[in-house]
Amino acid sequence: MNRELLASLIEPQEKARVLDIGCGDGKLIKRLDGKIGDGEIYGIEISARYAEEACKNKVNIIIGDIDTGLPFKEASFDIVVSNQVLEHVNSTDNFVKECYRVLKSGGTCIASTPNLATPHNIFSLILGYQPPATAVSDEIICGNPLDPSDGEQITSYRRHRRVFTAPSLQRLFRFHGFEVEAEKGVGLQPLPLFLSRRFTWARYSQFLTVKARKPES
């Protein structure tokens, strides 16, 4: 459901150059049909398996780790999107700086990430448990017996490094030069999906999505 929200914030732009950071299997890209005309879509993905799937969705894929920087020249893209990646990187500052660097003047960055202030995280803290959106280990999920994954070993992905609230997400992008145009939210655990997708109050939603613009030079 956060993919739908993220895609809805992308303005139609003919022949736009789009970069999807952490593109996974390319499912987000499918939602851009009709918005960028004959534009070009690039993706950077750390997983070779996901990258192979993304290629089937007509994404120009580069396999790499974004913690080492984005392998593109300055002012290369009109739009940069990222879904559930910011919380995994080692340096959130470097991530935002790199998004700013590769965007053209007036370009937009739209990024989605989990919300620390969503009620199920707050409730966990009240009970003295680890909030599900946070992590203390890259090898085991632990600290919250209410989490169905508690005790599972982690073998295929890196856990969250930092988790944001709505105000902190906006402030980070502004600090690095962006103009924040919108911040949206969606989802509320443990409600069923058909109800959860109706919850859009960013301050407490399960997922936060920010739309930020690189100022015109």
102 and 70 in contact (C-beta within 8 Å)?
yes
Give CA separation, 40 vs 18, 43, 76, in Å.
Answer: 6, 10, 11
For residues 86 and 162, what is the distance between their CA atoms, to the nearest angstrom? Answer: 8
Helices 92-102/166-175 angle, 10° precision: 50
Read off φ and ψ for residue 126, nearest 5 degrees. Answer: -60, -35
111 and 81 in contact (C-beta within 8 Å)?
yes
Q: For the domain 2-114+165-187+207-213, what is the CATH code?
A: 3.40.50.150
For residues 92 and 158, what is the distance between their CA atoms, to the nearest angstrom? Answer: 15
Average pLDDT over residues 96-116: 97
Which residue, 110, 127, 108, is CA-closest to 119?
A: 127
For residues 211 and 184, what is the distance between their CA atoms, to the nearest angstrom? Answer: 8
Between 206 and 6, residue with greater pLDDT? 206
**pLDDT digits 0-9 by tens, 70-101:** 999 999 999 999 999 999 999 999 999 999 99
Domain parsing of the chain, residue ranges = 2-114+165-187+207-213
Per-residue pLDDT at 33:
66
Average pLDDT over residues 113-117: 96
**pLDDT digits 0-9 by tens, 157-212:** 778 999 999 999 999 999 999 999 999 999 988 877 777 888 888 999 999 999 99
- Say if residue 206 is exposed, middle or buried (CB neighbours under 10 Å; 0-12, 13-18, 19+): buried
pLDDT at 56 over 80: no
pLDDT at 55 over 90: no
Bridge partner list, 103: 77
Which residue, 102, 78, 103, 99, is CA-closest to 89?
A: 99
Which residue, 73, 48, 62, 68, is CA-closest to 20?
A: 62
The pTM for the full model equals 0.92
